[in-house]
């Protein structure tokens, strides 16, 4: 499939969007696959399978909209609590996704990164991640970041351990630790913070996702289950985002975030 051209300002305006008020980085909690399937009398895995179509559509739409980054919550460090059969099917699906989307990621010129404890994943999946990272190296399009076996508390704990080790070894003094030090030890080091966090399927919680990074993200929660989520839902979210008054603790309307991006 050929790379879809980026939207012109005129096309954005037709969608009710403007480049100046577009979110640069969207993070999504892709929830509700199981419920989508159960409502239709289908096995839960069918919801996960359909969810891959939504991933494809949303990645392409975000890239056309000219976003800098899309960070998708694919599998949390707590999702291991699920039944063995669902876990093995989910991992199989992830592996297939990495193989099948590689060509598309390259055709769309996307940058690619995975955050999470990938070393705990099946070696076959680790291999596919590496192959996709290698294939996407040098691309300069939107950054597609997958959170796989990711948990924010684990991420922050590991960052604290790394910083403590440096203090112990004498290469860092405790007084020199700043927010930037913490940011540079997170798995998202070098990335901007999400401007907009979308959660599908209606739950009003964060489920251990990017807890440090979303301090000032705008939240948008929809009842739509992930397998039904498409470009039009994304446009609605972006329109609502554009109307939000982001103050970052101040009083004036601003698009400037707190300086917690890359150190």
Confirm whether 79 is a catalytic residue: yes
Site for ligand IPE contains 34 (CB under 6 A) = yes
Binding partner selected for residue 73 from ligand IPE, Mg ion, none, CB under the kind-specific 5 to 8 Å limit: ligand IPE
List 79, 139, 208, 228, catalytic entry: 79
Site for ligand IPE contains 73 (CB under 6 A) = yes
Site for ligand IPE contains 89 (CB under 6 A) = no
Angle at CA of residue 42, ends 41 and 47, nearest 5°: 130
Where does this chain touch ligand IPE (CB under 6 A) — which range of 24-32, 118-126, 189-197, 250-258? 24-32
Binding partner selected for residue 76 from ligand IPE, Mg ion, none, CB under the kind-specific 5 to 8 Å limit: ligand IPE
Separation of alpha carbons 150 and 39, rounded Å: 28
Where does this chain touch ligand IPE (CB under 6 A) — which range of 55-63, 171-179, 198-206, 252-260? 198-206
List 9, 31, 122, 140, catalytic entry: 31
Where does this chain touch ligand IPE (CB under 6 A) — which range of 69-77, 106-114, 165-173, 211-219? 69-77
Summarize as ranges the residues that interact with Mg ion (CB under 5 A).
31
Q: Which of 24, 68, 79, 139 binds ligand IPE (CB under 6 A)?
A: 79
Site for ligand IPE contains 31 (CB under 6 A) = yes
Residues at the site binding ligand IPE, with contacts judged by CB under 6 A: 29-35, 73-76, 79, 90, 201, 203, 205, 207
Which residues belong to the active site? Answer: 31, 79
């Amino acid at each position: 499939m050929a790379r879809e051209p980026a939207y012109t300002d005129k096309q954005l305006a037709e969608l009710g969007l403007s480049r100046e008020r577009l979110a640069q980085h969207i993070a999504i909690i892709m929830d509700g696959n199981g419920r989508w399937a159960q409502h239709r009398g289908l096995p839960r895995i069918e919801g996960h399978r359909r969810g891959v179509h939504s991933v494809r559509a949303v990645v392409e739409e975000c890239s056309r909209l000219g976003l800098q980054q899309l960070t998708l919550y694919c599998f949390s460090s707590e999702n291991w609590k699920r039944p063995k059969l669902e876990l093995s099917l989910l991992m199989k699906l992830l592996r297939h996704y990495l193989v099948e989307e590689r060509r598309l990621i390259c055709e769309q010129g996307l940058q690619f990164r995975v955050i999470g404890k990938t070393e705990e994943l099946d070696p076959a999946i680790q291999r596919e991640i590496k192959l996709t990272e290698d294939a996407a190296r040098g691309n300069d399009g939107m950054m597609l970041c997958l959170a796989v076996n990711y948990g924010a508390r684990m991420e922050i704990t590991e960052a604290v351990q790394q910083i403590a080790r440096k203090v112990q070894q004498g290469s860092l003094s405790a007084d020199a630790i700043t927010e930037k030090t913490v940011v540079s030890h997170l798995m998202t080091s070098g990335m901007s913070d999400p401007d907009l966090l979308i959660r599908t399927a209606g739950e009003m919680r964060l489920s251990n996702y990017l807890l440090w990074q979303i301090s000032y993200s705008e939240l948008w929660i929809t009842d739509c289950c992930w397998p039904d989520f498409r470009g039009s839902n994304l446009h609605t979210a972006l329109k609502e985002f554009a109307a939000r008054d982001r103050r970052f603790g101040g009083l004036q309307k601003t698009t400037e975030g707190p300086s917690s991006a890359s150190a």
